[in-house]
Amino acid sequence: MTTSEHCKCLRIGDAAPDFSARSTLGQVSLSDYRGRWVLLFSHPADFTPVCTSEFVALAKAADRFADMDCALLAVSVDSLYSHFAWVRAIHDRFGVKVRFPIIEDPTLILGRAYGMVAESAHDSSTVRTNFFIDPEGVIRALACYPINVGRSVEEMVRTLAALQAADATGGLAPEGWQPGDPMLAQPEPELDAIFMPEDPTDWFLNAEAGKQ
């Protein structure tokens, strides 16, 4: 990662910056996961209440993400040994093993490269960000949460499923879409398509097309 990449304001459609860093599963690089989906997510700190609840839920849902060919990658400013101690504490308290990599980022290089923290920040106490990265290494969705509000693992699973279904069918996932639900069709940008349906809303709101 070069200095020019620091604090880049990433958007949907941008290439996710590559990196190599230490994690609880050894050295990891984003490029190692090319060809798979990746959910890269940051948390403010180890041994915090909200983050602990999230990691317990994510560890329990890890197989669901794996079945969708999606790798989980966590990152925070805490040291590798702090991650190890936290993972052990989670196991002892909840009987859950966190098997996905937790990356250390004590210098904030990774956090700044992904725009998770401001360039002038000295810590990441307000960071809680999700990046959904497709098999080509492109950011397809992102979400940010404040330090006092936890993420929904079910929504993370749903978002990933919707992205994959949209790619597979060419359809659009409507509000509240769940796997197996019909998807909306892309409206045809032609004048005849506007006048053809009996119901004028069928032109832009066709729920029968684009099914999985």
Which amino acids are annotated catalytic?
Answer: 51
Q: Which two tokens stand for residue 205?
A: 């709101």
Query: What whole-number distance in Å separates Cα of residue 106 and Cα of residue 27?
Result: 15
Query: What whole-number distance in Å separates Cα of residue 194 and Cα of residue 190?
Result: 7
Which helix (H) or strand (E) is 71 found in, with range?
Answer: strand 70-76
Residue 158, CB-side half-sphere exposure with 13 Å CA sphere: 12
Tell me if 12 sits within 8 A of 140, measured CB to CB: yes
The CB density around residue 156, as the number of other CB atoms within 10 Å, is: 24
Tell me if 87 sits within 8 A of 98, measured CB to CB: yes
Nearest to 163 by CA among 44, 21, 65: 65
Q: How far apart are the first and last CA of the chain?
A: 39
Q: Which two tokens stand for residue 22?
A: 């230490």
